[in-house]
Structure formats: structure tokens, C-alpha cells
Amino acid sequence: MYFLLVYMYIKNHVYMFPDLLGCHGKCRRYLFCCFQDRAGQFFSSGHTNNWAVLVCTSRFWFNYRHVANTLSVYRSVKRLGIPDSHIVLMLADDMACNHRNPKPATVFSHKNMELNVYGDDVEVDYRGYEVTVENFLRILTGRLPPSTPRSKRLLSDDRSNILIYLTGHGGNGFLKFQDSEEISNVELADAFEQMWQKRRYNELLFIIDTCQGASMYERFYSPNLMALASSQVGEDSLSHQPDLAIGVHLMDRYTFYLLEFLEDIHPASKTNMNDLFKVCPKSQCVSTPGHRTDLFLRDPGSVLITDFFGSVRKVELTMETINLTDPIDAESGELQKEMHTYADQLPVSEIIHQKPKQKDWHPPDGFILGLWTLILLVFFQTYGVKHLKHIF
């Protein structure tokens, strides 16, 4: 009876709890419906962790804007919650501490130096010569040598949403890495298929900001891939604006407007992918951004931006108990303690009287054996065997 009274009270007065549970629309009046809706939304995307692989493939000072592009996406992704351990950042050259940079340890995205995207807390996993096609493909497929540290690996599983961002100089069907090699769209599509077969991603968002970027996603054939590019085939992606104090172009147009769009997103926002597709129309970008969603299973309108750019921590409750073992007692055995001394840094007398190290004896190799055989043959031929006893 009492419970029924409480229930009736809440049901009639639920309008007094506005936005308490984020309920909106027609669901507000019915509390249980609202719970179900929230719970449904919570589990609809199906992913439990987020990863990001951000790659800048260009070297040299005049490609400052590509590094600024990558760092601005890095900054947004970190701000929205993905930790450094889940971000693989690859920068092919160092612009911040480059000797041509008039303001060291900074990379700006806007003229008048408004926003320093390099910041004070940045961890670059692959820098300089390590940014190669081979390393990029190895990160994606997970086939790295066993001594690779954790921060350089993409340790995703089948419930991870991965964001991949590439920028640099590209063409119809390829992307140039550091002026010396290229990755083709076929290789990229095959790498994603390997990832799908190894169950290394749940959903993948691929963004590319290069000239003729749409050609890079033409060949994808694995499920759950969504792709965005800054320009169509036959079009060039243009840079935004130069800064006269630094002397180079600071950012590319597409990423500039993407950064502007992402600055308005916060971890709880509900903006979806359809808004992302509208970023940088032709009037602002000069090139036509493109996107591809036919391989994606969900409707883009129901995919939140934070599904890829933010970090979700989903918790699964368990009622099992675990028994902790007793701590191991440290042995108290007395070892004999020998006297330690600091080593002499330059023991001159020892060095002068040092005996040379005994080199290991190796059996003579083929060359030496062949040479001696030749000498003996010539000798025997010249002098004949019967004269040997006179010589020896």
C-alpha cells in the first residue's frame, strides 16, 4: 500500500525532476520507460574501450601544417577522455623543437598564436624515421617484434572502437610517407580486413586529410568501417592560412574546421555523425569532403561523436569473491656482506698494464684454405714430389 502511494506520487510528479536522468522528450513522464531508454542507449554501441592512431606522414619544416593537424586531433581526443596509453601518435618530424621554430616547444593551429596544440603533456610514440609504412601496418595488424614496448602497440580487442587519422601528401590511390615510400589504398583495405579477421576492432572511423583523399577509402571491403576524407578524387585539399611570424601555413582547412567543431564537443554531448559529415562544406573548404558509410552496420545518425573521439569506461559488475593469498615473507638469512667500494674512474696504471683480451681461435675459413691449397699445388708442380726430400 505504502509502496503504491510512493509510486503514484513519483509518477505524477516526475516533471519535477527535470533532466535528472537526462530523460527528454515524451519519455519524461514515465520513469521506467526512461530508465530503459537510458540503459538501451548505454549498451547500444557495443564497445567497451577506445583507441586512436594518429599519423602525420610528412617531413620538413614547410609541412608544419600536417604536424599541427595531427596534434590538434590528438588534443581533442585527449581532452574528451582517451588516455595516452590508448593513443598511438606518429609524427614524422619534429616541428616544436625544430631550430627554425621561432617559439620553441610550441605548435600553433591558428595565426596570432592563439592555440598551442603541442601543450605541456604530450607523448609521441613514433617519431622521425620510425614513421614508415611497415611500422604503420604492423601497428594495425598487431604483428610487432616482441620487444616493442606497450606504448607503441595497438592493443585493441573485438570491443574497441578505433579512430584512425592520416594526414600528409597523397594522390589518387596512395599516401606518401616521408618522401621515400607510399601506402596504397589496396594495402590499407587489406590491413583493415586483417584487423577484422583477427577481431581487432568493433567499429572503425577512418579520417584522412590529404589531396584526393576519397581515393583511399574506395577499396575498403570489411564491415563496420566509416570513412571521411577532405577531398574527392581529382581535387586538392588546401591549407588554411599562413602565419607571418612563423613563416609557414599552420593548418589544413578541413582539419581546421574539424578542430573548431570538436572544440564544442564535451564528453557528455549527444552530437552524432551526421553533424560531422557537414563539417567544412565546399564554401569553406574549397574541396568537397566526402564520406562512406555503406559498410557501417548502424545508422550514422545514431552514432555519437564521443563513440570514437571520447573514451567510454564501461563497468561490468561481478559478485564473485576472490581470496587473496598471504604475503610472502622475505627471507631473513644473513648473506655474507662484502665491502663495496666506488670504482676508480680513471685508473691510469691499470689501463697501461692491461693485457690485451685473448681473442677466440676460429678455424681458418675457406679463403685461407683455398689460398694455401693453391700455393702447395703450384709448389709441387714446379718442384715435383721427388725433390721434396732435398728441400725438407
Partner 1 sequence: EANAVIIPQCSHIPPGRRGCLMETTVSPNKEELVIRPLHSGDIYTSFQFRTLWETDFTRENKVSHYRLFPKSLGQVISKFSVRELHISFTQGYWRTMQWGQPYLPSPPGAELWVWFQDSLTDVDGTWKELTNVLSGIFCASLNFIDSTNTVQPSASFKPLGIGNVTDHQIVCTENLTPWKKLLPCGSKAGLAVLLKSEKLFHSSFHSQAVHIRPVCKDDQCKTTSWELRQTLNVVFDLHNSGQGKNEWSLFKMFSRTLTEACPVASSSKIYIDITDNSQGEQFELSPATPLLSQAVVLGDRRTFSVYDLTQQITFGTICNVLKLPVTYSAHAGDMLRPLLHAERYVAGYGLQTGEIHTLMYNNHPYRSFPVLLLDSVPWYLRLYIHTLTVTSKGKDNKPSYIHYQPSKDRVRPHLLEMLVQLPPNSVTEVTLQFERALLKWTEYTPDPNHGFYVGSSVISSLVPSIVAMDTNNSRERPLFSSFFPSKEESSYFVRVYTEPLLVNLPTPDFSMPYNVICLTCTVVAVGYGSLYNLLTRSFQIEEPSPGLAKRIANIIRKMRGVPPL
Query: Contact residues for partner 1 (CB under 8 A)?
Result: 59-60, 94, 96-98, 103-106, 118-125, 127-130, 145, 147-152, 178-180, 328, 330-331, 335, 337-348, 351-352, 354, 356-357
CB of 61 to partner 1, least distance (A): 11
CB of 147 to partner 1, least distance (A): 4
Nearer to partner 1, 4 or 352 (CB): 352
Sequence-separated (6 or more) residues with CB below 8 Å from residue 118: 71, 96, 105, 106, 107
Cα distance between the two ends of the chain: 126
What are the phi and psi torsion angles at 55 (to 5°)? Answer: -125, 130
Nearer to partner 1, 49 or 135 (CB): 135
DSSP letters along 345-363, please? S--HHHHHTPPPPPPPP--
Contact 152/89 with Cβ under 8 angstroms? no
Q: Respond yes or no: is residue 353 known to be catalytic.
A: no
Nearer to partner 1, 16 or 339 (CB): 339
CB of 66 to partner 1, least distance (A): 14
CB of 236 to partner 1, least distance (A): 22
Q: Respond yes or no: is residue 169 known to be catalytic.
A: yes
199 Rama sector, left if φ>0, alpha if ψ -120 to 50, beta otherwise: left
Contact 264/79 with Cβ under 8 angstroms? no
Nearer to partner 1, 41 or 180 (CB): 180
Q: In whole angstroms, what is the distance from residue 39 CA to residue 27 CA?
A: 13
Q: In whole angstroms, what is the distance from residue 203 CA to residue 201 CA?
A: 6
CB of 362 to partner 1, least distance (A): 14
The C-alpha angle 194, 196, 202, rounded to 5 degrees, equals 145
What b/e sequence results for 262-301 when a residue is b if at least 16 CB atoms lie within 10 Å of its CB, and e otherwise?
A: beebeeeeeebbeebeebbeeeebebebbbbbebbebeee
CB of 368 to partner 1, least distance (A): 17
Nearer to partner 1, 57 or 287 (CB): 57
Nearer to partner 1, 46 or 142 (CB): 142
Among the listed residues 66, 86, 110, 169, the single catalytic one is: 169
Sequence-separated (6 or more) residues with CB below 8 Å from residue 93: 56, 58, 59, 60, 61, 63, 67, 128
Among the listed residues 27, 34, 211, 285, the single catalytic one is: 211
Q: Which residues are catalytic, by number?
A: 169, 211
